[in-house]
Homo-oligomer: A and B are copies of this chain.
Amino acid sequence: MRVLSGQLGGRRRPTIEDVAARAGVSRQTVSRAVNAKGEIHPETRARVLAAIEELGYRPNRLAQGMVTRRTRTVALVAGDIRNPFFGEVAHGAATELGAHDHKLLVMDTYEDAERELAALTELSHDVDGIIAFLYHSELADLEAVATTVPSLVVLNRDVPLPGARVLTIDLVAGGRLVAHHLIARGHRHLAVVVNATQAPGTGRRVSGFLAAAAEAGIEDVVQLPALPSMPGGREVGAELVGAHPEVTGVFAYNDLVAAGLIGAVRRAGLGVPDDLAVVGCDDIALASAWDPPLTTVRIDAEHVGAVAAQHALELLGVGQPAPSGDVFGVELVVRASS
């Protein structure tokens, strides 16, 4: 007999069989009562429910999943849950999933190609659905994942994936908005922080920014690769000050990078926005509390998470259909950093 470490008492968890015995019916009848499936006499049903209550019975999800092939679990695969943006997405998704008795699993990729694929591959066998912010996976790999997992929702990757939902945050527009804003304020020497984990010039927000700048006749935008985090922003801020003193306006990839960048720039003795205008992206809740309050591209992260979850659930045949449309709009929130 095995002793389970950490387990206090010895009582075995009641099974459907125990309930059946107690109620004087068969397992199937209990199952019917629990799942409200198939015809069942109200009186029998009441007796079963009473037995369930008395015994404190809870269906074993594993056993259920074994036969239904569902785990009632959806995973969120994102760069780094420490980024409040993903925290907000996770919150929105978890809330929506919870309303339909599903749970949320989180997995960080660090936007690393290998980790991203490993996460998808591993999860695809263990969860009902995956909601993923993807940056590196090859289409062939994604197709394999889409075939394996019952429900796949891809954000930020405009790939053709039949059977999956491909949702887009309109960051091309976001990037354009930032460029227009900076140029309208008279800035001619621009820089943009690009995600160091991605190919140069790639990424929706960056390409939108570059396109709008080019249209305005500004072709020589400085591109600064950085990790999409506060430390990444610090490094790139120092570099900007040292190597590109002519730049007066920068699009900082996201709010975290903006925070680090602003700190570094000030430490070097320059002022924001006077010497350098800084614009972020995401509009995390705290962006308005900074010094200075951050100009940034607003994304309704919780809404994105909730809608992504709705799509995941719809693909699983649970809940109401998700709203139609596959692009989330963004807007520029002008505060004091630019």
A-side residues, CB < 8 A to B, are 4-11, 13, 58, 60-63, 65-66, 71, 73, 80-84, 86-88, 90-91, 94-95, 98, 103-108, 123, 125-126, 143, 146-148, 150-152, 162-164, 230, 256, 259-260, 262-263, 285-286, 288-293, 302, 315-317
Q: Are B82 and A164 interface neighbours, CB within 8 A?
A: no
| Cα of A291 to Cα of B107 in the assembled complex, Å | 32
On chain B, the residues within 8 Å of A91 by CB distance are 80-82, 108
| Cα of A329 to Cα of B126 in the assembled complex, Å | 37
| Cα of A9 to Cα of B123 in the assembled complex, Å | 18
Query: What 10 A-B pairs have minimum CB-CB distances, sorted nearest first?
Result: A291-B291, A259-B289, A6-B315, A87-B87, A8-B147, A9-B147, A82-B91, A8-B163, A62-B65, A84-B84
Q: Are B106 and A94 interface neighbours, CB within 8 A?
A: yes
Asked if A95 meets B108 with Cβ closer than 8 Å, knowing A6-B152, A61-B125, the reply is yes
Q: Are B152 and A126 interface neighbours, CB within 8 A?
A: no
Closest B residue to A127 by CB, please name it: B103
Asked if A105 meets B104 with Cβ closer than 8 Å, knowing A5-B315, A87-B81, A286-B230, the reply is yes
On chain B, the residues within 8 Å of A61 by CB distance are 125-126
Asked if A292 meets B291 with Cβ closer than 8 Å, knowing A61-B125, A81-B87, A103-B107, the reply is yes
| Cα of A212 to Cα of B201 in the assembled complex, Å | 56
| Cα of A13 to Cα of B256 in the assembled complex, Å | 41
Number of chain copies forming the complex: 2
Query: Which of B62, B151, B286, B289 touches A71 (beta carbons < 8 Å)?
Result: B62
Q: List 19 A-B contacts (CB under 8 A).
A: A5-B150, A6-B146, A6-B164, A7-B150, A8-B147, A9-B147, A10-B147, A11-B147, A61-B126, A62-B62, A62-B65, A80-B91, A81-B87, A82-B84, A94-B106, A103-B107, A230-B285, A263-B288, A289-B290
Q: Are B82 and A125 interface neighbours, CB within 8 A?
A: no
On chain B, the residues within 8 Å of A292 by CB distance are 291
Q: Are A60 and B106 interface neighbours, CB within 8 A?
A: no
Q: Are B6 and A163 interface neighbours, CB within 8 A?
A: yes
On chain B, the residues within 8 Å of A11 by CB distance are 147
Q: Are A82 and B285 interface neighbours, CB within 8 A?
A: yes
| Cα of A148 to Cα of B263 in the assembled complex, Å | 48
Q: Are A163 and B108 interface neighbours, CB within 8 A?
A: no
**Least CB distance, A158 to chain B, in whole angstroms:** 18
Query: Which of B63, B83, B263, B317 touches A66 (beta carbons < 8 Å)?
Result: B63
**Least CB distance, A219 to chain B, in whole angstroms:** 32
| Cα of A107 to Cα of B103 in the assembled complex, Å | 8
| Cα of A114 to Cα of B250 in the assembled complex, Å | 47
**Least CB distance, A198 to chain B, in whole angstroms:** 21
| Cα of A259 to Cα of B86 in the assembled complex, Å | 20
| Cα of A146 to Cα of B302 in the assembled complex, Å | 32
Q: Are A289 and B262 interface neighbours, CB within 8 A?
A: yes
| Cα of A163 to Cα of B95 in the assembled complex, Å | 31
| Cα of A8 to Cα of B142 in the assembled complex, Å | 11
| Cα of A4 to Cα of B70 in the assembled complex, Å | 11
